[in-house]
Structure 1
Amino acid sequence: MTGPRRLAAAAVLLAVTLTGCTSGGSDETAASSPAAPATPVAQPIAWTDCDADIDQIIAGRPGAERDLAFSCGTTSVPASYDDPAGGPLDLFLVRATFAGQTDRIGSLLVNPGGPGQSATDAAVQSALTLPEDVLRRFDVVGLDPRGAGLSTPVECISDQQKDELFAVDPRTADAAALTTAFGQVDAVAAGCAEKYKEALGAFATVDSARDMDLVRESLGDEQLTFLGYSYGTTLGSTYAELFPERVRALVLDGAVDPDATAEEFAEQQAQAFEVAFDAFAANCTALLAGCPIGADPRTSVTDLLTQAGTTPVPSSRAGETRQATPGLVLNGIRSALYQPSAWPQLAQSLAAARAGDAAGILTLADTYTGRNDDGTYTNVVDANVAVTCADTEERRTADQVRTVLAEWSTQYPLFGADAALGLYTCSPWQAPRTPLPARDAAGSAPILVIGTQGDPVTPLPGAQDMAADLTSGALLTWAGNGHTAYPKTDCVTAAVNAYLIDLVVPAEGTVCPA
């Protein structure tokens, strides 16, 4: 299960993102919940059998042998909740049903984060990986949020722009280079505004949460059961704030800090990625066969970035015309730091890049940014920035960002500059804003929040703040590494299963071992 990806700042994304990805800060202007709009009407879902198509996609994957039935569905919601009669917006869903279902409870909606990641893809993967005890009680449903995946996807950044943006060296302190980088972000904002005009503000999380409630009703569930990762925790907690009485059970895994400003969250993330890199380095140097990038991985990577900044590294991959610049190398590193299972691949890819072949590091970078083998991109970047900027009123000038960048480049040598540049992402964004509400979800059933001690994407303080803010929040901590926790360990899995199925909340202060 992938969580949100924090896409490179030069690629016009605020953090968390994949991520980035995510907009984590609460604005002072969002101290209370938005006013209730006119009540829209839930529309039926038009389901079709898509077993054959999905079976072809999942063939050979672990879990593909499970007896699952897949349905694909479409429905519509108001494009604007201020004017529910003003026109529809189409949404796309996937539903997975396990053949061994007994004592069905209802639907389990899943969201993998981003913002911008496909929840329909996540539903398919969840059907292959979630414990069968859960699948016996729930259909797994993925609803692509508005603007993402196949739900009226927002698309306003060209593939060429994305290639250029991701290739930028975020560590540069050269005034002219920074001016160029800011200009690229300005151009993206102008292009998106020209294409969508006022409609560009329709991709806010608040409206996606309202969509989710209509879909809950269309699915026939009296209350919502939800599993959200990373940005999905922002979406889930926003739902709980708007509709607290309709919450049955929410699992918020890898929580985005609801209290941090964009700058505070970006710094938390930069620091956490530095710590994650050190954990990777320690793991690599402890290998019996030796670390492929030597006894000092940080110095090795610093040297590689310097090399790539002067002479970008070519790739042996057939048909590849790109060369690995520092920006692409850093994206490849960041991608692999999401999960310790990718650390061996990262070590080998860095070693190959140092030897003159960037094929491996580019593969990691492309996984992170949604770039396909043919050079096209998914719309995850477009959706990420559209949602992130719709969710916040925060803006920073280029001069303010330059100041932060100078400080963070020293404090966080690998990831600080990129995090700082990301603070400019929404400054030129030309669209209506719907800031995230403060979220205590008073009146909600208990909500389970999960934080991981070694999470580089959504650091543990975010989960602690989320659980403390929610009136009925309960915190479960995993003393492991990587982004998100369920269902990676027996302890976390048992606790979440008990909560989802029987509504049993873990004891306060529960910490699952690594």
Structure 2
Amino acid sequence: MAIPSRLRAAALATSALLLSALLAGCGDGGKDGDLSAQKLDWKGCPAPSEAEGGGTAPSPLPGGGTWQCATMKAPLDWSKPKGDTIGIALIRAKASGPASKRIGSLVFNFGGPGGSGVSTLPAFGEDYAALRARYDLVSFDPRGVGRSAPVKCESDAQLDVYFQQDATPDNSAERTALVNRTKQFNAACEKNSRQILPHVSTTDAARDMDLMRQVLGDAKLHYFGISYGTELGGVYAHLFPRNVGRAVLDAVVDPTQNPEESALGQAKGFQLALDNFAEDCTSKTSECPIGNTAQDVKDRIAKLLNDLENKPIPGIPPRQLTQTAATNGIAQSLYSKDFWEYLTEGLEQAYEGDGKVLMLLSDSMNGRSENGEYSNITAANTAINCADEKPRYTADDVQRKLPEFRAASPLFGDYLAWGMVSCTDWAVPGAADHPDVSAPGSAPILVVGNTGDPATPYEGAKKMVEALGKGVAVELTYKGQGHGAYDSKDACVQSAVNAYLLDGKEPQTGTVCS
């Protein structure tokens, strides 16, 4: 997930609540301060917290296995490794095969930034059942996320208003309102999360992962990173190249781009996905219910969004479907081809004046549950991005770039361009224009790119291969749709990835699955 942080969701907490959450994990790091020697206390997993997205405790695994959870202590400030600590929430499913065949732990990061691995891994656990034969499957809430010293900004009620705002301003008054509302959100993050904000960068998370490797008892980090998780994996390989084991990067972030270039790339990627959706609908033998030709489908969507600018329609009471919420819902549905049928249904209903389905899709993107509670994905997403990214864009900067964004995507151009103001007046300076992932001396890393990926366009995989350095990356291409390749369940992709992770057999670089 890499939609602008301004369009993500958060949960309320007061400064006192944040402080108590941090202090619950604080301590002296053990008698000698050696956090790598700590022992994890694995227990049954509770239901996900509100910040993790809520819901019920994870169900038992097929065959009777159970999910276990623990908390790892990590330094609050990695420049002071023997200072105060925070708790990093972990989850695992122990390897299902014989102990003699076990390789170690396979650590997952599913992206965001800001996604809870503790809640996501159980939801997709069956998709990785083959890997569990030789690995303990492990994931975590990165610092600032879920149960790991979560960043907290605004209340659920405030966020309902936040996500109803006009995120594609058309005049100076609307531009001023958007910038002021962004500053208000960011000020709330500083007020409620002052202690953690300087320490949620991707570099901090990568150092946490190396500590995790040691605490889990592994000589090497075996890793599966998806979306933003590929950036985290690349940064880890840069910092600890000799500690890289078998690693897979799927749905690859372009590590050479600054935030503006990344947003422009996403505009092109989402436009391509929309083009493919429209072509798919109108090329089927049965009549496409939302247009007669691919261009007709896109024209009708554009008209819907234009109409919603001035006259929202009923969504999920008491909220209405605004132009921004509809655009957000459409973007969410383009993350997976499996969602295309919901997009078709949502558009059909919206044309009849019912915005419920598109609003449900938008709520899913924003981390809003049916009971109106938000996870902290927007707060964490904003905090991590703004800690990583040095540029700070103004409304004038965006205004100058709008023609280029609109040329890249008539539908998503404005939406993604205005997302660049999300770090306006952020309390912590950003680290760099883009991450350093050069990793000379690393073990081979399998880099998997999807030609139809909207959120992390295919070109990013090639840029990651180059940036990792000569002799490090093994490139695999999937000619498909949606965000990511392995979870498409394509037999060719899964066979290649499984052979590498389970048996160390690298596919020939440049292999194409279609």
Q: So what's the TM-score if we normalise by structure 2? A: 0.88
Q: 1:439 maps to what in 2?
A: 437
Q: Secondary structure at 1:226's aligned position in 2?
A: strand
| 1:259–1:286 CA distance, 2 compared to 1 (3 A) | same
Q: Secondary structure at 2:230's aligned position in 1?
A: helix
Q: 1:494 maps to what in 2?
A: 495
The answer to whether 1:50 aligns with 2:51 is no
Is contact 1:200–1:432 with CA below 8 Å preserved after alignment?
no
Matches within 5 A, 1:360-399: 360-399=357-396
Q: Deviations over 1:403-433 (max 9, x none)?
A: 1124423542110001111111113111143
Distance in 2 (alpha carbons) for counterparts of 1:48 and 1:64: 15
| 1:194–1:367 CA distance, 2 compared to 1 (3 A) | same
Segments of 5+ residues of structure 1 without an aligned counterpart are 14-38
Return 226-235 or 80-89, whichever deviates more. Answer: 80-89
Distance in 1 (alpha carbons) for counterparts of 2:505 and 2:134: 15
Q: Secondary structure at 1:465's aligned position in 2?
A: helix
Instruction: Select which of 132, 136, 160 maps to 1:163.
Output: 160
Q: 2:310 maps to what in 1?
A: 310
Amino acid corresponding to residue 75 of structure 1 in structure 2: M
| 1:244–1:87 CA distance, 2 compared to 1 (3 A) | same
Q: 2:24 maps to what in 1?
A: none
Q: Secondary structure at 2:353's aligned position in 1?
A: coil
| 1:422–1:52 CA distance, 2 compared to 1 (3 A) | closer
Q: 1:279 maps to what in 2?
A: 276
How far the C-alpha of 1:158 sits from its partner, in A, is 2.6
Instruction: Select which of 35, 41, 50 maps to 1:41.
Output: 35
Distance in 1 (alpha carbons) for counterparts of 2:209 and 2:410: 40
Distance in 2 (alpha carbons) for counterparts of 1:51 and 1:136: 25
Is contact 1:127–1:135 with CA below 8 Å preserved after alignment?
no
Q: Secondary structure at 2:222's aligned position in 1?
A: strand
Distance in 2 (alpha carbons) for counterparts of 1:305 and 1:288: 28
Instruction: Select which of 218, 225, 231 maps to 1:234.
Output: 231
Matches within 5 A, 1:46-445: 46-50=41-45, 57=57, 65-102=62-99, 103-132=101-130, 134-197=131-194, 199-295=196-292, 296-315=296-315, 317=316, 320-435=317-432, 437-445=435-443
Distance in 1 (alpha carbons) for counterparts of 2:371 and 2:408: 38
Return 108-117 or 416-425, whichever deviates more. Answer: 416-425
Distance in 1 (alpha carbons) for counterparts of 2:264 and 2:501: 33
Q: Deviations over 1:218-240 (max 9, x none)?
A: 11111100001000001111111
Distance in 1 (alpha carbons) for counterparts of 2:248 and 2:255: 16
Q: 2:508 maps to what in 1?
A: 507
Distance in 2 (alpha carbons) for counterparts of 1:45 and 1:65: 25
Amino acid corresponding to residue 486 of structure 1 in structure 2: Y
| 1:511–1:415 CA distance, 2 compared to 1 (3 A) | same
Is contact 2:9–2:376 with CA below 8 Å preserved after alignment?
no
Amino acid corresponding to residue 93 of structure 1 in structure 2: L
| 1:289–1:76 CA distance, 2 compared to 1 (3 A) | same
Q: Deviations over 1:232-286 (max 9, x none)?
A: 0011111111111111111010110000111111111101101100110111112
| Seq. identity, % | 38
Is contact 2:58–2:67 with CA below 8 Å preserved after alignment?
no
| 1:398–1:10 CA distance, 2 compared to 1 (3 A) | farther
Q: So what's the TM-score if we normalise by structure 1? A: 0.88
How far the C-alpha of 1:160 sits from its partner, in A, is 3.2
Return 504-513 or 404-413, whichever deviates more. Answer: 404-413
Q: Secondary structure at 1:107's aligned position in 2?
A: strand
| 1:56–1:177 CA distance, 2 compared to 1 (3 A) | closer
Return 470-479 or 159-168, whichever deviates more. Answer: 159-168
Is contact 1:333–1:364 with CA below 8 Å preserved after alignment?
yes
Distance in 2 (alpha carbons) for counterparts of 1:285 and 1:97: 46
How far the C-alpha of 1:496 sits from its partner, in A, is 0.6
How far the C-alpha of 1:122 sits from its partner, in A, is 2.7
How many pairs were matched up?
478
Distance in 2 (alpha carbons) for counterparts of 1:270 and 1:162: 25
Q: Secondary structure at 1:84's aligned position in 2?
A: coil
Amino acid corresponding to residue 237 of structure 1 in structure 2: G
Is contact 2:290–2:297 with CA below 8 Å preserved after alignment?
yes
Distance in 1 (alpha carbons) for counterparts of 2:224 and 2:62: 23
Distance in 2 (alpha carbons) for counterparts of 1:432 and 1:55: 35
| 1:410–1:509 CA distance, 2 compared to 1 (3 A) | closer
Amino acid corresponding to residue 90 of structure 1 in structure 2: G
| 1:223–1:113 CA distance, 2 compared to 1 (3 A) | same
